[in-house]
Structures are given as C-alpha cells and as structure tokens.
Structure 1
C-alpha cells in the first residue's frame, strides 16, 4: 500500500496492501486482481483525506528554499558519515544537519509512515509524534485518525485496533530504493524517496492478498528541535519495473518472513 500519493491532483497515502501501480499479478486470478484494485481505491481515498490542505510539491513561497533543479543520482555507498545512533521510540533520530542527514531522515520516515503500525490507533500517535514537527503532529494525527476510521479498517479486513482476523497476518513493509534532494537549505529540505514494498493480508482465504508495489514519496522536512522533522508528505506511483514471472509464495511463508526478518535504519 502506501501513504501519500499524488493522483490526478490528489494526494493519497500508502499503507499496508498493494497500492498504486498495481503490479501484474503473479499466479493470481482476476478475482484477486479486482480485490487488490478495490483496496487501492480505499487507500487513495484515505491518503487524500489525510493530506488535504498541503502538498510538499507546491512551488516554494517567500522565505523558502528555492528549487535546486534536477538532482544527479548519487550512489548509496558509504560516505564516511557515521549513521545515526539516536532513537525516538522505534524510529531513528539525531540526523545530521546537511543534505545527507535530510535524505536519511526522509528514508526512515517513509518506512514509518507506510508501516502496518500506522493503522493501529494505539501506535499511530507515537509514530506521528516521532516523525512530524511538534507544531504539525496534532493536526496530522487528527487527519490520520479520520482517514483510518473503523469503517476504513473494516474494509481492509482489520478490526478497530488495526489487527487482522485470527489466522491472518497484515503486512506492510517498505524498502527505500533511493533518495533525491530537490530543495535544501540549512532549515528546510524537500526529499523524494523511491520505494518498493509488500502490502496486504497473508492467510488462507484472504481477500486482500499480499503483493508488491513501487512508489515515490515526497517529504517536506524542517530542522527543528535539533533534528529533521516532517511538515508534510505526499505520494505518487512508480517508477515501476516490469514484473518478473515468478511463483508467488504461500501465505504462511509470507507471514513467517514478516515475523523473522527485521527492518533497517536507513542512512546514506
């Protein structure tokens, strides 16, 4: 799924489950594809609701950093700068006040915003306060609470607490592929994070099967309280490669993988 995506002038959020760019299904029938498309539509609506009233891709206003122009690709090899050692709950913190630090913050925040925990009311507040600037957190938490309502969770097959039914595992795992700074100064930055991930519900009879997706998140950051924090974010589809013809793993294999493989702290 995803968390903030731009589509026809709207912004949608990517969360658990396949979202934009619906990849060609592998070994699944048309009914599964229709189910995936239905969930995508729900996610797009939720993202648009959560992100109304602000778009990090808007042109710079007076006093904001000017666009730096197309950024050249930079390798993700070690740069010599030590990765962050701080933590704000389960989210990395203490990023450097430079372009590298902004990119690292954006990558980590993208992962947090599209995690399965963002759907859980008892975890959502911690995530929002961990990634958003203090003066933005309350507003964003309210928007997300509205977007991920009980009715919305029910349509995803989750209970009011964001949990899957007995015997099912809800999967939302995002992996940044690369980052690009489009605007930067010492106080603000706009970073695009190209991501892939797996989203959906693993289990026998799942109406929302786990699939993969490709999307780009645009995150507007501000230096505040000695760290990079978010002002806003948005998401759009792709760039997506051609899907390989591979056999999809069974639901129990996917569930086991999610439980056994941990995530990363992303830093350039």
Structure 2
C-alpha cells in the first residue's frame, strides 16, 4: 500500500515511459499520486458497509512518492468463447499490434516453474507470459510484505527492472515512514499490534494485453483489494475496493519486468447485501486461506 497524504487509498496514477516513475523524482518519466481515504470510525458489525468515498481502501503504487495497493485474492472469471486473444504470440509478433480484447480463460499452460524470493518468476516470452507476470506481480505488491523495509526491497528488486527499482527504493522507504505506518495502526517495522491482524491483499479478477511488441507489453489487471486491521477495538476494519492496475513490462534478462505502472478506480460492481463478518472471523480467514499463483 502506498503511503500518501491523506488517510485513504487509491487514485489514478500516471505511468512513465522508461525506467520508472515520476516527472520530478524519477527521471522525468511520469507521475503517480496516492490518496489515502479518510476512514469514518466504523467498526465491524452486521450491517453492510457503504461504498462512499470515505470507505475506499486501496493503497496504490505510486511513482514519485509511493508504490503499492490494497487487496485480497479472489477467482478469475471465465468467459465464453474460449478464445485466447493473445494467440500465444511469441517473439515474432508484429510490432505495434494492439491485442484484441479477450476473456481471461484458462489455457492449461503452467505460468512459471520457478520462484525468486517466493515470487513466481520465469515467464514465457509471449503475451500469455506477460499477463501472468503482471497478475502475479500485482499480488506480490498488494501484500503485507510491502510494509516491512527488508521484504519491500526484495519485492521491488524482483518485479521491477534494475533501473526502475533503483529509482523507487529510497522514495518508497520515505513514503512508508513510521508516521504513515502508525496511522495504519502498525509498528515501525510494519507489524500489527499484539492480538490484531493487518490485512492487505490483491485478488485479480481478470487481465488483458493492451499493447504487445515482442520485448515490451502493456497489461491491465482488474482486481479487488482488501485492506484494514482485524482485531479487538479496531477502528480501521478490513474493507474492499475495486481498481485496474496497468503495467508497462519489458523483457529483461530472460523474464518480464515492470518498467512503470499506474492505477485507476473501478470498474466497481454493485455491492450485495452480504452481512459483514466479525473481526475474529476475518483474522481467522486471513490465516487459513493463502494466495494463488495466477496464470492467463
């Protein structure tokens, strides 16, 4: 989750062209802003949560000052037609072609065979590989690991190009300051208080290739996010948000890496009438249900 000015999450961000973020702080290649929504003092209860702006809970990856988002994991939605849309394009794809929109249906291919620091890596050099990379990277950067300096550095170094990671590292350390973590109810090392569970997950719902040109790709990931604190007396309960995260990827050293990324709100479904779970139920669910490795 990226720290920002106000207490809230999620806002549209601009992506750069080369090596990272920021018109000012990242080599003049784009700028991202993160807005942290004000949280009313709502607590866990049986009533359905409203969808007002004050309850938005996505922490966005920012360029110039922040990087990350909020989120939990859900399931990919199958689509009709079974078309791959990507056509399993590989190194010979025509330069500048815009990929056709296609449902995120299963192809039966394994997304990766290896991991680096627990993050799936080693993707295929084609459109399907780019989609799998973007989706799994969104999950990695939407987790609680981003709130601890050591694990955050590992994540950033793993998913970004070397140039982009170098420009982001210090700015993100400044953004995830002790005062920002304190506003989230976290200790200086990013851990929650005793008896509480901090929740931050991304759950991809679908992905699509917007542009593909052999060694570069632009992939959008539509996801639902979860963020908040589950525990006794929490005034910042776990809430959901919907956003689209767009990644500019480059084929570097035998794998897809992020050059820059941006986010925007929605599309957001109409909320249902589900009864909100109690704090201890959320804590238990987070501990019992792990995440997935996503594939196109």
Q: Residues 143 and 265 (structure 1 numbering): CA distance in 2 closer, same or farther, change over 3 Å?
A: same
Q: How big is the shift at 1:207?
A: 1.8
Match for 2:98 among 64, 68, 82?
Answer: 68
Q: Which has the higher contact order (CA 8 A, sep 6+)?
A: 1
Match for 1:6 among 12, 15, 22?
Answer: 12
Deviations 1:129-179 (CA, angstroms, capped at 9, x unpaired): 110112221211222112111111111111111111111110011111000
Matched, 1:256 2:284: yes
Q: Secondary structure at the match of 1:27?
A: coil
**Do 2:97 and 2:211's aligned partners in 1 also have CA atoms closer than 8 Å?**
yes
Correspondence for 1:56: none
- The alignment yields a C-alpha RMSD, in angstroms, of 3.2
Q: How big is the shift at 1:10?
A: 6.6
Correspondence for 1:201: 229
Matched, 1:238 2:266: yes
Q: Secondary structure at the match of 1:259?
A: helix
Structure 1 or 2: larger strand share? 1
Deviations 1:23-82 (CA, angstroms, capped at 9, x unpaired): xx972689xx79746x76xx469676226xxxxxxxxxxxxx64727x3222422x2423
Q: Residues 159 and 34 (structure 1 numbering): CA distance in 2 closer, same or farther, change over 3 Å?
A: farther
Correspondence for 2:18: none
Q: Secondary structure at the match of 1:252?
A: helix
Structure 1 or 2: larger helix share? 1
5+ residue gaps in structure 1?
20-24, 52-64
**Do 2:10 and 2:265's aligned partners in 1 also have CA atoms closer than 8 Å?**
no
**Do 2:225 and 2:242's aligned partners in 1 also have CA atoms closer than 8 Å?**
yes
**Do 2:32 and 2:62's aligned partners in 1 also have CA atoms closer than 8 Å?**
no
5+ residue gaps in structure 2?
3-8, 15-29, 40-44, 68-94
Q: Residues 196 and 26 (structure 1 numbering): CA distance in 2 closer, same or farther, change over 3 Å?
A: farther
**Do 1:4 and 1:233's aligned partners in 2 also have CA atoms closer than 8 Å?**
no
Output the CA distance in 1 between the equivalents of 2:147 and 2:158.
Answer: 15
**Do 1:132 and 1:231's aligned partners in 2 also have CA atoms closer than 8 Å?**
yes
* Residues paired across the two proteins, number: 243
TM-score w.r.t. length of structure 1: 0.80
**Do 2:48 and 2:275's aligned partners in 1 also have CA atoms closer than 8 Å?**
no
TM-score w.r.t. length of structure 2: 0.73
